[in-house]
Amino acid sequence: MTDNKEKLDFTEDKSSRRPKSTTPSTVKKPENTDALGAMIKVTIDGKDIKVPMGTTILEAAKELGITIPTLCDHSDLCVAGVCRICVVEVEGQNNLQASCAYPITSPIKVHTHTRKVRQARRHVLDLMLSKHYGECYSCVRNGNCELQDLADQYGVDFYRFGHMEKPDKGTDESSYAIERDMDKCILCRRCVRTCVDLQEVGVYDVLGRGEETHIGTFLDKPMNDVICINCGQCINRCPTGALHAKDPSDVIWEAIDDKNKHVVIQTAPAPRSAIGECFDGVEPGTPLTFEMNTAIRYCGFDKVFDTNFSADLTIIEEGTELIERLYGTLVEGKNESLPQFTSCSPGWVKYIEHFYPEMLKNVSSAKSPQQMFGAVIKTYYAKINDIDPADIVTVALMPCTAKKFECNRPEMNDSGYKDIDYGLTTRELAQMFKEAGIELPKLKKSDFDDPFGTQTGSGVIFGATGGVMESAIRTVYELVSGKKIDDLFDHANVMPVRGFDGIKYAELPIEEVGPVPEILEGKIPNWDWLKGATLKVAVAHGTANAKKVLENIKEGGKLSECHFIEFMACPGGCLGGGGMPIPTNEEIRAARAKAIYAEDEASEVRKSYENPAITKLYSDFFTEGPCSHKSHELLHTGYKVRGKKMV
């Protein structure tokens, strides 16, 4: 069964809040394009095309292969129409029209580069540059800046309306993850639409009016003092260097240079699918996992490990916790909190701490793979290799900016040291490679280091939305039923939890049960109590979708019957993380997902409990098994009720 991938209808949002993106700022496209009048003929620069009514001029031009410059437009976000760089001339209209915001409802003739258009675009650009602190050499987005590109394309060779010589507002560096340099802001509002509409977190909005207009936080508080989940989605969509991540690469280089330090890096699944995008000529979705290992060693890291190891460890710990909660509820009559929520995504964890702290008891106490790894490195790994943990520097290559915050949480030092010293993003590692003169795509491949180097499919799919759930299903189903998941799903591909639907739901009936496996001995006497049960799961990605799920649970809706729900803060899951290469859009995210699932298919080990490093860890170190006293000490954590109060 179970591929009854039910679509849940969340279009009728019951909360009173209506994000502005739901305002139909464009004309609705017809459902049936064969209907009379549904298709409209447009002529752009002399080329004809028929498009469905409501298509914007920009979309139509794109189909014709005509490039119109944009800045405020972003395919993940609602239409703004504020930057005016995309203006075009529509015959018969005196005013120019913003092509991103102009829905075609009647046959029109459009010209995209008349004198009037060129002058207007150049003026818009000149006006932006007059207020933009353009210190390109020292800017993190040098070479990958949409404003810089436009200045290049439009042949800007002088500042017509002046130029900002000195920074005015300075950079807010208060956050562990996100830095804001408002002297580079061009007020395109992508960050506002990302934070308010896409993520529904609401850090930023437009404040003031007229000349005073600026993007601000509540009371212009520093980022550290506002309700920010550090997801970094705003960074991914910022066209300039106004928003960027806090870069630890300098201190990492220092650690590498220090002969007394043993520098260990773990690499998460998502970055390998995307790091190529930072290099010329590499298409999105080109995995460079093993080239990256070579490059990392070339930089001077002492060991390179695969986060897949601790992803699998997470499945064992989190899965055991789930079984304990289910057993407690169904057999022992305890009032355990169900559904259990995943805890891998630090953006999601901070989201629930702020917005739904009353539901924190539902969050699995298992640490995220990043943090589990750190705790294991500075205890088990240090011990077996006889290294003083004080001399170990743990770096985590993550697709994520929130991981930078997570590793700095004060409770994350169960090893007696800071479990993870630095969170490094995909973009930052690519930058380190470039600094070391490495052309990543041309390198030879090499393997991860032992003992945490087993390539497992169950770990790698953590990089895509639904991946944690799929891994959990593979392991839990096999441990409970004693049968192969492959009997249920071709190639063990649990399709119902894959894909980019905002909220996914699936049911997994357990018809037969097997013997209790060795790893769970002592936890439960048998599986009889699960026989005939149906495991109900859901997956949500993007905090706006998370909010819908939580509201549904609070109302006692369908999702409140779930046993286990995966949440990822970022749209698309980790492959859409805030530390991933810029730009991002659905097409790029789909390409990265394809790379991740291909790596899963190619892996020999695709179920967490079969990872030999995991088996060894439990037999050598966590000898009392998962969710034992020792594993709780090192691999589990607690959460903080943060709430929404800022003043």
**Residue closer to other proteins, measured from CB, 217 or 345:** 217
The sign of the CA dihedral 177, 181, 182, 187 is negative
Q: Tell me which residue of 543, 560, 571 sits closest to 19, measured CA to CA.
A: 543
Q: 3-state SS of 103-135?
A: ECCCCEEEECCCHHHHHHHHHHHHHHHHCCCCC
Q: Which phi and psi (to 5°) does residue 398 adopt? A: -135, 155
**Known catalytic membership, residue 179:** no
- What gap in Å lies between CA 441 and CA 279, rounded to an integer? 8
**Residue closer to other proteins, measured from CB, 149 or 561:** 149
Least spacing, CB of residue 188 vs other proteins, in Å: 9
Q: Tell me which residue of 352, 361, 593 sits closest to 465, measured CA to CA.
A: 593
Question: 307 CB contacts (<8 Å, ≥6 apart)?
Answer: 266, 267, 268, 269, 369, 370, 373, 396, 397, 459, 462
Least spacing, CB of residue 184 vs other proteins, in Å: 15
Crossing angle between the packed helical segments 289-299 and 426-435, to the nearest 10 degrees: 50
Is 584:237 a contact under the CB 8 Å cutoff? yes
Least spacing, CB of residue 46 vs other proteins, in Å: 22
Q: 3-state SS of 482-546?
A: CCCHHHCCHHHCCHHHCCCCCEEEEEEECCCCCCCCHHHCCCCCCCHHHCCCEEEEEEEECHHHH
**Known catalytic membership, residue 403:** yes
Q: Which of 146, 406, 428, 566 is catalytic?
A: 406
Q: If residue 221 lies in a helix (H) or strand (E), which one and from where to where?
A: none
**Known catalytic membership, residue 406:** yes
Is 427:237 a contact under the CB 8 Å cutoff? no
Q: Which of 139, 185, 344, 562 is catalytic?
A: 344
**Known catalytic membership, residue 321:** yes
Residue by residue, DSSP assigns 439-483 as: -GGGSPP-PPPSSS---BHHHHGGGSTTHHHHHHHHHHHHHHHSS
**Residue closer to other proteins, measured from CB, 36 or 647:** 647
**Residue closer to other proteins, measured from CB, 161 or 509:** 161
- Measure the CA angle with vertex 159, ends 68 and 214; round to 5°: 70
**Residue closer to other proteins, measured from CB, 219 or 390:** 219
Q: Which of 86, 145, 188, 574 is catalytic?
A: 574
Residues recorded for the chain: 647
Q: Which of 59, 179, 291, 318 is catalytic?
A: 318
**Residue closer to other proteins, measured from CB, 49 or 207:** 207
Cβ-based neighbour number of residue 504 at 10 Å: 24
Least spacing, CB of residue 97 vs other proteins, in Å: 9
* Alpha helix ranges (H) inside 541-639: 543-554, 586-602, 612-620, 629-635
Least spacing, CB of residue 220 vs other proteins, in Å: 9
Cα pseudo-dihedral 177, 183, 189, 193, rounded to 10: 10
Q: Which residues bind other proteins (CB under 8 A)?
A: 15-18, 20, 23-27, 79, 81-85, 87, 94-96, 98, 101-103, 105, 116, 119-120, 123-124, 127-128, 130-131, 160-161, 186-187, 196, 201-213, 216-219, 226, 644-647
Is 181:244 a contact under the CB 8 Å cutoff? yes
**Residue closer to other proteins, measured from CB, 201 or 430:** 201
Least spacing, CB of residue 223 vs other proteins, in Å: 12
Is 18:4 a contact under the CB 8 Å cutoff? no
Is 425:231 a contact under the CB 8 Å cutoff? no
**Residue closer to other proteins, measured from CB, 120 or 360:** 120
**Known catalytic membership, residue 310:** no
Least spacing, CB of residue 646 vs other proteins, in Å: 6
Q: Which of 343, 364, 368, 471 is catalytic?
A: 364
**Residue closer to other proteins, measured from CB, 75 or 623:** 75
Is 231:543 a contact under the CB 8 Å cutoff? yes
Is 188:181 a contact under the CB 8 Å cutoff? no
- What gap in Å lies between CA 629 and CA 192, rounded to an integer? 45
Q: Which of 332, 411, 511, 624 is catalytic?
A: 411
Q: Tell me which residue of 14, 25, 39 sits closest to 105, measured CA to CA.
A: 39
**Known catalytic membership, residue 146:** no
**Residue closer to other proteins, measured from CB, 162 or 522:** 162
**Known catalytic membership, residue 364:** yes
**Known catalytic membership, residue 483:** no
Q: Which of 246, 378, 403, 547 is catalytic?
A: 403
Cα pseudo-dihedral 196, 202, 203, 209, rounded to 10: 70
Q: Just list the catalytic residues.
A: 318, 321, 344, 364, 403, 406, 411, 574
